[in-house]
């Protein structure tokens, strides 16, 4: 059994990671433009100033997508490229770039999937408090309207926020990502609250101003917990743990983000944890975050924990992986079984079509003496994960598509150019693109709709 006939196969990228042209044609600064120039913030002192130069090479890149039989392309809009100050005056040259990109994709028969926010927050708005400012959701709503009014005559599929868990947690709590702050949890919770409001207002705006029928979702990454075995009691325990808030990981807990979006309220177990950081948060009006969605996007790379029972029948979690368990070059555990259990759990709870918005691995890829990039580990990784996704589909989970992360090697945030996630190798000195062996393997999967998995 293969995936459903209208299954969408594609790949994903993000604006700051590939576009370059960081100050060209009127673009404003983002927090990543600023932080990447801070000594020691990014490994090797790397920046996204040039990145993959996609801003100038988008036609070449779209042609490569066509060659590889991509049916869909998920990309993000650079907010400060469109609105250099975050609000107010529109940068027409910035909007024109996305106009041309969408037209080029459609001309090649590739469906655009647009993400409105993938971490490159306008620096001018950060200076006004960013997502700590109570007006921040209105700023995001204004930006959303500008983009939707320009592109919605051709774009059907929209996502509001990409991994807001990372932007808030890594950017405001830990400080490893832009804007590089280490703030008290009470402030981080306000950032999260305003991001959730931004999501809700953006969904309203997309539906109000879209010029054609639209599909709207978002793309979280969560604290994934899978069962220790396929025993019913282990599966049930894993779901209980996955759908509960954890004190040591509240900002990545599934209910803290999704219950406001789907139910219009914060989860009770999360409020009990948050009380000591922000008394009165239960009085924050989060109801606007609840807006009807057409699909649930999720980024999945690994499941760090599993849940099961000990020899005495007592439940426990955080079972460590065995010594020697396989890891990616980024030192992430390889857990393909999660691609079966997690979609099943999410679909059972929310009853929405699922879209895998990111999945892939960093690998030690280089161009060999024959001018080829052979990456058998990526092929094996994808084979294992897609096989599990197919198993979930066979069990009745409605999966609308799969977006590999990423289309090409790029600027990997705080890791700079030291991690290669792409199907296409990029020589950052010459900008030469070389499809890897995994790209051609994936092309065959696309052409057969996964029948050979």
Task: Give residue-wise pLDDT tens across range 329-356.
Answer: 999 999 999 999 999 999 999 999 999 9
**Interatomic CA distance for residues 216 and 293, integer angstroms:** 6
Mean pLDDT in residue range 361-377: 98
Task: Give residue-wise pLDDT tens across range 257-276.
Answer: 999 999 999 999 999 999 88
CB burial of residue 208 (10 Å; 0-12, 13-18, 19+):
exposed
Over 90: is that where the pLDDT of 8 sits? yes
| Residue 216 pLDDT level (bands cut at 50, 70, 90) | very high
* Residue 119 marked as a ligand binder: no
* Residue 79 marked as a ligand binder: no
Q: Classify domain 8-447 by CATH architecture.
A: Alpha-Beta Barrel (3.20)
Mean pLDDT in residue range 9-25: 98
pLDDT score at 311: 80
**Interatomic CA distance for residues 308 and 314, integer angstroms:** 8
Q: Of 194, 79, 195, 204, give the one whose Cα is nearest residue 146.
A: 79
Task: Give residue-wise pLDDT tens across range 36-53.
Answer: 999 999 999 999 999 999
Question: CA Rg, the chain, in Å?
Answer: 21
Task: Give residue-wise pLDDT tens across range 226-262.
Answer: 999 999 999 999 999 999 998 889 999 999 999 999 9
* Residue 118 marked as a ligand binder: yes
Task: Give residue-wise pLDDT tens across range 113-151.
Answer: 999 999 999 999 999 999 999 999 999 999 999 999 999
pTM of the entire predicted model: 0.97
Over 70: is that where the pLDDT of 280 sits? no
Mean pLDDT in residue range 7-22: 98
Determine which one of 259, 337, 358, 388 is catalytic: 358
pLDDT score at 119: 98
pLDDT score at 276: 87
Determine which one of 19, 104, 163, 254 is catalytic: 163
| Residue 321 pLDDT level (bands cut at 50, 70, 90) | confident
* Residue 301 marked as a ligand binder: yes
Residue 163 is among the residues annotated as catalytic for this protein: yes
Strands 305-309 and 315-317: antiparallel
């Amino acid at each position: 059994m293969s995936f459903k006939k209208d299954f969408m196969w594609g790949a994903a990228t993000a604006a700051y990671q590939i576009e370059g042209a960081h100050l060209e044609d009127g673009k404003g600064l983002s927090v990543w433009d600023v932080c990447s120039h801070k000594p020691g913030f990014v490994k090797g002192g790397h920046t996204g100033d040039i990145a993959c130069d996609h801003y100038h090479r988008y036609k070449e890149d779209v042609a490569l997508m066509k060659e590889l039989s991509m049916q869909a392309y998920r990309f993000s809009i650079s907010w400060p490229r469109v609105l250099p100050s975050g609000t107010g005056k529109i940068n027409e040259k910035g909007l024109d770039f996305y106009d041309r990109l969408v037209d080029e994709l459609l001309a090649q028969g590739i469906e655009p999937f647009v993400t409105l926010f993938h971490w490159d927050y306008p620096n001018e708005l950060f200076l006004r408090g960013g997502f700590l400012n109570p007006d921040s959701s209105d700023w995001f709503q204004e930006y959303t309207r500008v983009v939707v009014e320009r592109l919605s005559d051709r774009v059907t599929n929209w996502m509001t926020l990409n991994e807001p868990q990372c932007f808030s947690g890594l950017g405001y709590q830990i400080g490893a990502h832009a804007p590089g702050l280490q703030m008290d949890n009470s402030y981080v919770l306000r950032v999260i609250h305003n991001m959730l409001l931004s999501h809700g207002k953006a969904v309203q705006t997309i539906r109000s101003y879209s010029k054609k029928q639209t599909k709207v979702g978002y793309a979280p990454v969560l604290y994934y917990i899978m069962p220790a075995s396929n025993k019913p009691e282990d599966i049930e325990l894993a779901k209980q743990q996955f759908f509960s808030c954890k004190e040591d990981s509240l900002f990545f807990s599934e209910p803290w983000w999704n219950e406001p979006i789907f139910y219009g309220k914060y989860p009770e177990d999360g409020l009990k944890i948050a009380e000591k950081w922000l008394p009165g948060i239960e009085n924050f009006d989060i109801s606007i975050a609840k807006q009807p969605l057409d699909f649930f996007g999720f980024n999945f790379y690994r499941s760090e924990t599993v849940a099961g029972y000990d020899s005495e029948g007592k439940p426990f979690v955080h079972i460590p992986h065995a010594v020697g368990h396989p890891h990616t070059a980024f030192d992430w555990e390889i857990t393909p079984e999660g691609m079966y259990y997690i979609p099943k759990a999410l679909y059972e709870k929310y009853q929405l079509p699922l879209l895998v918005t990111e999945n892939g691995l960093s690998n030690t890829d280089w161009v060999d003496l024959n001018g080829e990039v052979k990456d058998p580990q990526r092929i094996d990784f994808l084979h294992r994960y897609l096989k599990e996704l197919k198993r979930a589909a066979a069990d009745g989970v409605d999966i609308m598509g799969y977006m590999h992360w990423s289309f090409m090697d790029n600027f990997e945030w705080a890791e700079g150019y030291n991690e290669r996630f792409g199907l296409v190798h990029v020589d950052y000195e010459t900008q030469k693109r070389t499809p890897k062996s995994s790209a051609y393997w994936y092309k065959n999967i696309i052409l057969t709709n996964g029948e050979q998995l």
